[in-house]
Amino acid sequence: MIEESARGFRAELLDVHRLRLVETAAPRLAPEERLAMNEVWDGLVRVNPSFFDGPVLVCAGTEREGSDGLTISWVRTTFRHFALRRVPGSTSWLPSFFVAVLQPADDGRLLVGRMSNSTAAPGRWQLPGGSLEPPEGDEPLDMMALRRHAARELIEETGIDTPPDDLTYWNVTRAGNGSIGVLFRAPSLPEALLRERHEVMVAAEAAQGRDPELDRIALIHSTAQLPLLAVPHVDYLEPIVRRYEASEA
């Protein structure tokens, strides 16, 4: 993801038990805004050629349905759209729509990973996960599609191969910039296995001349350990870890 502008939300869990996903049309950009977006994107690619303008989904809005339901409106676009966040005065950019996975170890600690230097957020700690991509063909964007994407992100970033059906829906988070993430919990695994899988994945990426998305992992059991990571972490990580810690007590 491209560096994000603030929208003034408080990072939080939304306590959603019923989720509805609705596709909507993308906002139209004024010619000058599109030109500015393209200039910013081209500059970012020159600095980091690993950026690519592939298809991605963004969040056009959310609406509560009763006390535990949520409708998420989503839009098809490409990663170039995120460059709008760096255009001064732009009001057309839409926040990310992503999935993330809570991967516990057998002792209850939670896996977090550090973004590598080849990513758009070097050094940032977060859960395994990433922006959603559009469904293929006539496939719907539903909970099963979200599970499949979450499982793919988990193996790509950590080397942990978990079947989508083994991922349990956990909650929905909203970041301070308005980005919306659907969270899944994976089955607990031994710490040694978690570290081995990540090391094998990193070695495989290096053999292909690529940097892994997560170049380091850590296991934490409480929000008190977040400062020990010593570098920035996503703002929504704290409420997730706090809720996870309480549920494990």
Decide if pLDDT at 9 tops 90: no
pLDDT tens, position by position, 64-95: 999 999 999 999 999 999 999 999 888 889 99
Pairwise CA distance, residues 184 & 203, whole Å: 27
- Mean of the pLDDT values across residues 139-151? 96
Decide if pLDDT at 198 tops 90: yes
| Nearest Cα to Cα of residue 15 among 65, 74, 73 | 65
How much of the chain, in percent, has pLDDT values that exceed 90? 82
- Mean of the pLDDT values across residues 212-227? 94
The confidence band for 220, taking pLDDT boundaries of 50, 70 and 90, is very high
Query: Does domain 12-248 correspond to CATH entry 3.40.50.720?
Result: no
Decide if pLDDT at 138 tops 90: no
CA distances from 126 to 69, 100, 204, 243 (A): 26, 9, 22, 15
Q: Where are the chain's structural domains?
A: 12-248
pLDDT at position 92: 87
The confidence band for 119, taking pLDDT boundaries of 50, 70 and 90, is confident
Whole-structure pTM value = 0.94
Q: Which helix (DSSP H) or strand (DSSP E) does residue 214 occupy?
A: strand 214-220
- Mean of the pLDDT values across residues 25-29? 88
The confidence band for 151, taking pLDDT boundaries of 50, 70 and 90, is very high
